[in-house]
Homo-oligomer: A and B are copies of this chain.
Amino acid sequence: MNFYESKKVNILEQLPLGLIEKGSLKTFEKGKILYRKGEQDKGLNFIKKGIVGLMGFSVSGDDTLLRVIGERNLLGYRSLLSSESYHASALALTDVELIYFKFDSVQQLQHEVPELHNLLTQTLAVDLRRAEQRLKDITGKRVISRVIETLIYLKQIHPDHPWTRREIGEFCGARTETVTRTLSKLERDGYIQKSGREIKLNDIGKLLEFSEQCEIF
């Protein structure tokens, strides 16, 4: 079980119809900010359509893609459940449609939809594993392994999204130029195929095998 392995969970099943009806629909164009680091808001956002990136922005321009939230997933639960303000900003990586649910407190969530509360606890636990594994990878592994694992992960979440070199780099801690060079090498060695902006992974098993090879001194 590594960070790039992901089980898809159907959050929708845990959202009672009554709740959904109370939610309000919002739309954001690609590139727009859904919310900013530091803002305080006790609410949940259900991503109906599109992909959202949880971003750690930096003055010097080396932004980090902390988390990727795909369709039919929730956003904002970490802040709600910790009663903290947002620790990062949410960016629309595509055009996004979401349903926003307002809560007054964690207690309300827990009381009104206890199953959802439990599901979110579990999601937090999985997110934490993923973040800590990436923390380990980012210092311990070379860039080629990180790019490979990031490719696999991002493709899994949203196979059809044309992930940019920038996004891949921001996720695994590398510059776009470095990602480009790495992808070129992977294509030369027959592990992937690039056609225009599209990246096709030939064989995930072989890729992971190659990734491990690269770590042996």
Question: Which A residues contact B (CB, under 8 angstroms)?
Answer: 1, 54, 56, 58-60, 62, 64, 66-67, 77-79, 81-85, 87-88, 106, 110, 117-118, 120-122, 124-129, 131-136, 138-140, 173, 215, 217
Query: How far, in whole Å, are A62 and B136 apart by their CA atoms in the complex?
Result: 9
B66 contacts A135, C-beta separation under 8 Å:
yes
Residues of chain B lying within 8 A (CB to CB) of residue A56: 132-133, 135-136, 140
Query: How far, in whole Å, are A77 and B118 apart by their CA atoms in the complex?
Result: 14
Chain B nearest CB: distance from A110 CB in Å? 7
Most B C-beta atoms less than 10 A away, residue of A60, A85, A217: A60
Nearest B residue to A125, CB-CB: B82
Residues of chain B lying within 8 A (CB to CB) of residue A88: 132, 136
Query: How far, in whole Å, are A27 and B215 apart by their CA atoms in the complex?
Result: 36
Residues of chain B lying within 8 A (CB to CB) of residue A110: 118
Number of copies: 2
Known A-B contacts A87-B133, A110-B118; the reply to A173 vs B64 at CB < 8 A is no
Considering the complex of A and B, which 9 residue pairs feature the smallest CB-CB distances, nearest first?
A82-B125, A139-B173, A56-B136, A131-B131, A124-B124, A64-B136, A81-B125, A121-B121, A87-B129
Query: How far, in whole Å, are A147 and B9 apart by their CA atoms in the complex?
Result: 38
B135 contacts A215, C-beta separation under 8 Å:
no
A84 contacts B125, C-beta separation under 8 Å:
yes
Query: How far, in whole Å, are A110 and B115 apart by their CA atoms in the complex?
Result: 12
A136 contacts B78, C-beta separation under 8 Å:
no
Most B C-beta atoms less than 10 A away, residue of A84, A129, A133, A215: A129
Known A-B contacts A78-B128, A215-B60; the reply to A138 vs B135 at CB < 8 A is yes
